[in-house]
Chain A
């Protein structure tokens, strides 16, 4: 149980285009999902917290108009990188928290999406 999928697993796009990444909880309902960014040999940096049915909460320094997050259902959150530039190239990973998990803040991670902007 507690499986999180992400699609696509990798994507290459041209500078100036937009890319949408999907994050799905397959066997549980996730009222909260998180989007992280990870550069090579670095830690996971939280970009935003996505709550089902409400606006996402962005971390300081993350442009909400550039990284659009939509959490329209209890099993799906999407991250859209708008007007992508080479510096947006990174590994994007989502995680989901089981809404029925009680007081445990256990998060389950998706497999990640490797974005390369040319």
Chain B
């Protein structure tokens, strides 16, 4: 089955800096890659996703890049703010199959 590796497990940045979280996946047939943000004790919320027919997608301060050849995708957050502090999960799926999640990255943005 699919295996998703996520790095780093924790990431501390200063407010205003950029943050990058990387994920690799094992199944080259995977074609949907969402990123979720989860605050403590709350539900995961989709912040951005990308499909395999696109190499990059951007939404304001958030962007995701996909390298199908290398089987990795990354989340980029620019101009980080304290409210960006949370746990971020990447995931991958093939078509309508189940999502396989990475282990998560705890992002801490210090004022």
Contact residues of A with B, CB < 8 Å?
A: 32, 34, 42-44, 46, 49, 91, 93, 97, 103-112, 114
Contact = CB atoms under 8 A, between A and B. Distances in A.
B22 to A, nearest CB: 16
Interface residues of B, number: 22
Contact of B95 (A49, A93, A105, A108): A105
Interface of B: 32, 34, 36, 41-46, 49, 51, 89, 93, 95-99, 101-104
A93 B43 contact: yes
Given A43-B102, A43-B104, A105-B99, A93 B44 contact: yes
A103 B41 CA distance: 30
8 contacts: A32-B96, A43-B102, A43-B103, A43-B104, A97-B96, A103-B95, A105-B99, A110-B43
B45 A109 contact: yes
A46 B43 contact: no
A107 B99 contact: yes
B102 A111 contact: no
A115 to B, nearest CB: 13
Nearest to B92: A105
